[in-house]
Amino acid sequence: MSLLTCQNVSFAYEGNVILSDIDFSVNQGDYLCIVGENGAGKSTLIKGILNLKKTFSGNIITGEGLAQNEIGYLPQQTPVQKDFPASVYEVVLSGRLNSCGKKLFYSKKDKEAAIENMKKLELLSLKNQCYRELSGGQQQRVLLARALCAAKKLILLDEPITGLDPIMSMEFYNMVKELNVKEKMTVIMVSHDVKGAVDFASHILHLGKKQLFFGTKEEYCRSVIGIRFLGGTAL
Ligand SMILES: Nc1ncnc2c1ncn2[C@@H]1O[C@H](COP(=O)(O)OP(=O)(O)OP(=O)(O)O)[C@@H](O)[C@H]1O
């Protein structure tokens, strides 16, 4: 069974359908990149997968024993979040909030998970530094470590390289790819940077108020829509 399956899904706001005909599945170890123009419905689909937005029709099914609170999520950053007055360690640890359940305090296991993920993303030297004093690239790394604290098998990233320069973007992509390859972490990433994202992805979902394409990256690069969106660049 797939890790995640969308069966003929649509979403609506106040009764107006804004995204329809969504039909795809993600298997363990896949790296899916969701692309499309502004307003195509990418963030809405991410919210649907996270169960933060109900489908208007169709079903979103998780498999392989994946529970909703085991999905790691790196949301689009707002200016307010960039100014968050907490230490790097506190931000990473807050990724465990969902798994705390009714407990009022973080357990030893939660704290160990935060340290382990900081180690993984080379953040230990910044442990006590204030989050808002970090560079944009470092902040994204912290948020990735935070998302990993919740992630068992699947991580969702919504526009993670917005505001990063090309070098930082490449570092971030490499880090995500390493998690995908070495840790077998399944990745779903929304990105406006189609060319950059396509380089790293295994599959592409192209939205435009409905599903315009779903398939492997190689199929996408050969497709009419892929060629058009990539500006005529083939792999
Ligand atoms: N809370 C809301 N209430 C009403 N309409 C909404 C709401 N959120 C999004 N929409 C509409 O749904 C459509 C899809 O929006 P969504 O944010 O999912 O697109 P997107 O592909 O993520 O866009 P972007 O690339 O600009 O972030 C848009 O037409 C948007 O105006």
Spell 185-200 as b/e; 16+ CB within 10 A means b: bbbbbbbebbebbbeb
User: pLDDT-based confidence at 208, cuts 50/70/90?
Assistant: very high
As a three-state string, the secondary structure of 20-57 is EEEEEEECCCCEEEEECCCCCCHHHHHHHHCCCCCCCE
Hey, what domains does the chain have and what are their CATH numbers?
1-66+155-234 (3.40.50.300), 79-152 (no CATH)
Percent of the chain topping pLDDT 70: 94
Nearest to 172 by CA among 180, 50, 220: 180
CA distance 194 to 190: 9
Higher-confidence residue of 132 and 203: namely 203
Q: What is the pLDDT of residues 138-151, one digit of tens each?
A: 898 999 999 999 88
Give me ligand 1 centre to Cα 166, in Å: 26
Give me ligand 1 centre to Cα 72, in Å: 22
Q: Residue 213's beta-bridge partner residues?
A: 206
Ligand 1 and 62: CB distance under 6 A: no
Average confidence score pLDDT of the chain: 89
Give residue 167's pLDDT.
Answer: 87
Higher-confidence residue of 103 and 87: namely 87
SS3 category, 233: coil
Ordered strands of the 16-26 beta sheet: 16-26, 4-13, 57-62
Ligand 1 and 43: CB distance under 6 A: yes
CA distance 53 to 42: 13
- The strand pair at 71-74 and 154-158 is best described as parallel
Give residue 65's pLDDT.
Answer: 81
Quick check: 233 pLDDT over 70? Answer: no
